[in-house]
Amino acid sequence: MKHIHRFFISLFVYSFIGIASFAQQALYKQSSAPIEQRVSDLLQRMTLEEKIAQIRHLHSFNIFNGQELDKDKLERSSAGLSWGFVEGFPLTGASCRKNMQLIQKYMVENTRLGIPIFTVAESLHGSVHEGSTIYPQNIALGSTFSPELAYRKAAMTSEDLHAQGMHQVLSPCIDVVRDLRWGRVEESYGEDAWLCGLFGIAEVNGYMDNGISPMLKHYGPHGNPLSGLNLASVECGMRDLHEVYLKPFEMVITNTPILAVMSTYNSWNHIPNSASHYLLTEVLRSQYGFQGYVYSDWGAIEMLQSFHKTAHTPKEAAWQALSAGLDVEASSNCYPELIEGFYSGELNISVLDEAVARVLYAKFKMGLFEDPYGNKYTNATMHTPQSIALSREIADESTVLLKNENNFLPLDRSKMKSIAVIGPNADQVQFGDYTWTRDNKDGVTPLEGIRNLVGNDILVNYAKGCSMMSLDTSEIAEAVEVAKKSDVAVLFCGSASAALARDYKSTNCGEGFDLHDLNLTGAQGQLIKEVYATGTPVVLVLVAGKPFVLNWEKQHIPAILTQWYAGEQAGASIADILFGEIYPSGRLTFSFPQSTGHLPVYYDHLPSDRGFYKNPGSYDSPGRDYVFASPDALWSFGHGLTYTTFVYKDLKLDKRNYQAGDTIVASIEVKNIGQRAGKEVVQLYVNDKVSSVATPVHRLRGFEKVEIQPGETKKITIKVPVNDLYILDNNNQRILEAGEFEIQAGSAADNILLTQTAIIGDFISEKHTAVKEAKKSSRMMTIKGEIRDVQATLIADAEIIAKSSGEILGYSDAKGLYTVSAGNRDVLIFRKKGYQLQEVPIKHWDVINVRLNYGDN
């Protein structure tokens, strides 16, 4: 009871001081005073109990009875103190504002210091409170390749949030995801760190420009959990930590005034991320300059004791987190255990003061002390026609056409009398995790969208076909019959995610729902094959929160689309796309694997990580890398078709040589040679040809989505800062190395169409010197030798080329032997498909034995 006694002594002293100090308005209440001074003034007035409350969270399950606030519970839970944060996740949107205002009124008017509280909501793709606009999930938003849509979505979501009395949102999620088995794939913009950073910047600005404080999540390496299991550790080195998993956070923090970051549940390098001083202080604050507060993912601090086993007691868990740099505790009760330690002097009070100051700074910065009730936004309304239209626009822009054999799509209504609509997702909305409903009345299903579009002109035959959660095949026969009597069958398969804190039944995707196998779940695979076997032309639409294995489908189904969870207007959007009212323009931000065993399949792998032998196999012709497959993605990052055809030409750089601080300006001409308008996503990748550490085969460094009319040519300009082409040394220091960088333009990571070389720094290529030397050749001579691979196997049919002229001089025979004639100063090029090209200066040698490495030229 000692700390309670001290609390009342402190309260008495502060009350006595208050008679004098509040006679004139306290400094912290003066809006004209600098925020730092207001924070300092308020902090020195606070008791230990008030400080601890300021870095804690009131939760709905402690203060609400259904939709109503229980004021007695609020008073007991808060102990009469101003708290840092409160949420009301079970509340409807209509009851949110009333209840949040009551809580805010209590904090401002019924506590000693009147510190307003941050009212908190989730808004990953729209607020989670009933009646809010439901936007497409993040995986869909990323597939638009339009960060401007991310800004507009955040700005529009802010209106719903203001109508609900909210100030803080636990969004956006900017995790880079590398394991597709993980349930939370859908929450990510994609597998590319730079793209995630750009979308994060756009969303943060969209919220902050409209009076809402966003929170980046989840800080720390998170998106590649071991075995794809939620909360599992991420195993990576220092370079991947900074160049992949933390890169989006660095981009957002250094380019926006973000005030909040959420820690993660999992661990890296055997240290829980929520107790990592390196991540939370050395990197986040010292390196990135972050000035805001870190908020724990729910229950993460208690998990240091119960899950990670790094703490014996709640007190020890609390101190591990707080001293590492985690400021705010949500959904656990560890921080109160520190009070006695602060009173006794066992614990350093300055650590607590820093955490409280960060929270107070954010509240002052967001204007809560001047407008705690959101009077500036009293006219805000939920679910406006403008927000519905934006949700539909994102759906239209995000759907990806994966395959369209013989231009099977769009469907021609004039040539159809009937259509079969089949599958577990045909007559069921799929909004994705972190939403407030799974009810068809709150959105448009694909079946409804198709019926609304075709009206009475085309007969629509429907069958569910199967469940995605069961191996029961009893409904497939009905689907087969429906397909047989229809001109075309459209199959809607995929996954289903939960509704936050509401409905978790029949869920195979989303947070906490990880898969061991990426084949379509339940009997969906058999359903597809049996409908295909009817002979009726089939279109497959994957409605899902992640890529699935569609290897058989790619080989057999003529048209395949993926419509990621596309929001409340998803059904209307896919109907228009199928029938050509809207053309698809989304592009993949996640590569599809050929099988679960092909993971990982992200595009920006190291040169060594897609096989050595370059000899893919099959059961008809076994090979290597793998014996019965290739290591390639089924569809790679950036892939996506539309209803027209584009050609690329004339990639130009503004100059050839660049120095640190310069910007590479690349221009590409793109022409639409088809009969329809379309949108192309022009992608620019960069490959560091040779560097002191292994670097990815290439990385996305720029893109632009552009609409082009039939016959029209547009010139696209993309800029790449030279300083972004750094590498990390062993001490995590950035180094810009001189050398050759290949600038690549294409329509996907595996479809590079044009290249140019940029020279960075003072670099002279040995190849250029060799070409000059080759042209000085004066005497012809005979050269012979043998060609082997790195394992000493003789290589037949390799080309031997004179570099000076480009002429093919000869080939190696069945024993790998060759004899050619060339100039004594020429350079011989040895080339064969599946092997890396080798250049060897002759230098008067008459015997040259060559070893070729496996790989691509």
**Is 355 in contact with 102 (CB distance < 8 Å)?**
no
Neighbour count for residue 301 (Cβ, 10 Å): 29
Average pLDDT on 153-174 reads: 98
d(CA 605, CA 584): 28
Average pLDDT on 471-483 reads: 98
**Is 493 in contact with 520 (CB distance < 8 Å)?**
yes
- How much is the pLDDT for 791? 81
- How much is the pLDDT for 762? 85
- How much is the pLDDT for 2? 40
pLDDT digits (tens, 9 = 90+) for 288-324: 999 999 999 999 999 999 999 999 999 999 999 999 9
How would residue 354 be classed by pLDDT, with cut points 50, 70 and 90?
A: very high
d(CA 283, CA 198): 20
Taking each continuous run of H as one helix and of E as one strand, the counts in the chain are 23, 34
| Angle made by CA atoms 265, 270, 271, in degrees to the nearest 5 | 55
d(CA 634, CA 554): 8
- How much is the pLDDT for 5? 42
- How much is the pLDDT for 8? 38
Q: Six-digit token pair at 7?
A: 């609390």
pLDDT tops 50 at residue 516:
yes
Lowest mean pLDDT among 14-23, 447-456, 462-471, 711-720: 14-23
Higher pLDDT among residues 25 and 98, named by residue: 98
Closest Cα partner for 720 from 752, 696, 756, 692? Answer: 756
Ramachandran area for residue 132 (φ above 0: left; ψ -120 to 50: alpha; else beta): beta
pLDDT digits (tens, 9 = 90+) for 382-402: 999 999 999 999 999 999 999
pLDDT digits (tens, 9 = 90+) for 607-632: 999 998 888 999 999 999 999 999 99
How would residue 9 be classed by pLDDT, with cut points 50, 70 and 90?
A: very low
- In single-letter form, the type of residue at position 553 comes to E
Q: CA separation (Å) from 284 to 199, 222, 247, 730, 734?
A: 20, 15, 11, 20, 17
Q: pTM of the predicted model, to two decimals?
A: 0.92
pLDDT digits (tens, 9 = 90+) for 839-850: 999 988 899 999
Higher pLDDT among residues 38 and 500, named by residue: 38
pLDDT tops 70 at residue 765:
no
**Is 704 in contact with 769 (CB distance < 8 Å)?**
no
- How much is the pLDDT for 13? 42
% of the chain exceeding 90 in pLDDT = 90
Average pLDDT on 679-706 reads: 97
Residue reference for tokens 């009342």? 8
| Angle made by CA atoms 237, 241, 246, in degrees to the nearest 5 | 180
**Is 774 in contact with 825 (CB distance < 8 Å)?**
yes
Average pLDDT on 720-738 reads: 93
pLDDT tops 60 at residue 11:
no
d(CA 262, CA 68): 29
d(CA 156, CA 167): 14
Q: Which residues contact 185 (CB under 8 A, 6 or more apart)?
A: 139, 177, 509, 545, 546, 547, 590
